Amino acid sequence: MELRDLRAFAVLGELLHFGRAAERLHVTQSALSKQIQRLEYDVGGALFMRSARETRLTELGAALRPDAVQALAQIDQLKRKAQAVLAGEAGTLRIGFGIGAKTLVPAAISQFRKHRPDVHIELFDLSSHHIVRALTEGKLDVGFCRLPAPAGWPHLPVVQARFVAVLPDSYRDIAHLRQLSAQRLVLIEHTLAPAFHAHLMTFLAGQGVRISDIQPVRDFVSGVTLAAAGVGWTVVPSSTVVDVLGVRVLQLEDPAASWAIGLMRPASVAGPLVAAFWDVVQKTLLREVD
């Protein structure tokens, strides 16, 4: 069963006139007759009764025409959707991000949706390690995570992050990290943020801080909460909101305490949605600079 035959049936069934139907379809009446005959052969029965005075649907034709019209509408919708996806105006965009990019991501998505409201956005809050793995496995399209990107991957630096130490108010006499060696460190689990954890341990060792007591937590907010309770001190990314009573923040200005976060994707050819979102992030960064 050919699509053009089905469309010929739907149009002729509406107009019930071979001349006008052939004109709308931009074919000859002879070609239209052949299309109808071919479809009748496919369905196993006559669809029209034709006389010198009129053309009308048979019982079979009247029964099948609504289904034919519906099928054609679905096919037309499929074509429109395909064109929209290919143009980057529809489809699904999967974005991985961590706490370090949480201020940029909403602004970029807001700008992106102004011009592409039909695109479905899926967000995944993951560590840099897990974002890179998901990108490699094809489970994400783009990701905001710690640089450097894997070799050959397109990337765009977007924000600079750094470590921030959060100390209980009771640690009033502590002014330097080395004084914290004997205190309990409340820290996000290594498996949840491997790159953050490894970087911090290297940094602390370089500062002469030898940690012997670590209490793992599931997220950075929990670390801040336990610091406020006096359980221990914690280190969080600079993008973490520290708005609880009972703590003080120790800024770590050493260059070794910072890292770059970038938008990245695998080296394979970017689809239209990825390319469009990439462009929006670049323009968002330019506006912030201006």
Tokens of 287: 């506006």
Give the per-residue pLDDT at 287: 66
Which H/E stretch holds residue 158?
strand 155-168
Q: Is the pLDDT of residue 269 over 90?
A: no
Q: Rounded to 10 degrees, what is the CA torsion of 166, 172, 177, 182?
A: -100
Q: Averaged over 12-38, what is the pLDDT?
A: 94
Q: In the chain, what percentage of residues exceed pLDDT 70?
A: 98
Residue of 140, 95, 102, 100 lying closest to 121 (CA atoms): 95
Cα–Cα dist 46/38, whole Å: 10
Mean pLDDT (whole number) for 230-235:
96
Q: How confident is the model at residue 172 (pLDDT cuts 50, 70, 90)?
A: confident
Mean pLDDT of 121-125: 95
Q: How far is Cα of residue 21 from the mean position of the Cα atoms in its chain? A: 46
- Gap between the Cα atoms of 166 and 122, Å rounded: 32
pLDDT score recorded for residue 91: 86
What's the Cα-to-Cα distance from 41 to each of 2, 45, 57, 216, 220, rounded to whole Å? 12, 7, 16, 73, 69
* Average pLDDT for 74-101: 84
Sorted by where each starts, the structural domains of the chain and their CATH numbers stand as 3-86 (1.10.10.10), 91-158+260-289 (3.40.190.10), 161-259 (3.40.190.10)
Residue 270 has pLDDT above 80, yes or no: no
Residue 268 has pLDDT above 60, yes or no: yes
Phi, psi for 225 (deg, rounded to 5): -65, -45
> Please, what is the average pLDDT of the chain?
91
The answer to whether residue 233 scores a pLDDT higher than 80 is yes
What does pTM read for this prediction?
A: 0.71
Question: What gap in Å lies between CA 148 and CA 17, rounded to an integer?
Answer: 68
Diameter over CA atoms, the chain: 106
* The two three-digit tokens of residue 173, written as one number: 């006499």
When pLDDT is cut at 50, 70 and 90, the band that residue 77 belongs to is confident
261 has pLDDT over 60: yes
176 vs 229, higher pLDDT: 229
Residue pair 160/255 in contact (Cβ under 8 Å)? The answer is no
Backbone φ and ψ of 233, nearest 5°:
-105, 165
Q: At residue 128, what is the residue type?
A: S
- Average pLDDT over every residue of 225-230: 96
Q: How confident is the model at residue 288 (pLDDT cuts 50, 70, 90)?
A: low
- Classify 53 as helix, strand or coil: coil
**Cβ–Cβ under 8 Å, residues 215 and 234:** no
* Interval 148-157: pLDDT, tens: 999 999 999 9
Average pLDDT on 6-33 reads 94
- CB burial readout 141-161, b (16+ within 10 A) else e: bbbbbbeebeeebbbbebbeb
The pLDDT of residue 83 is: 79
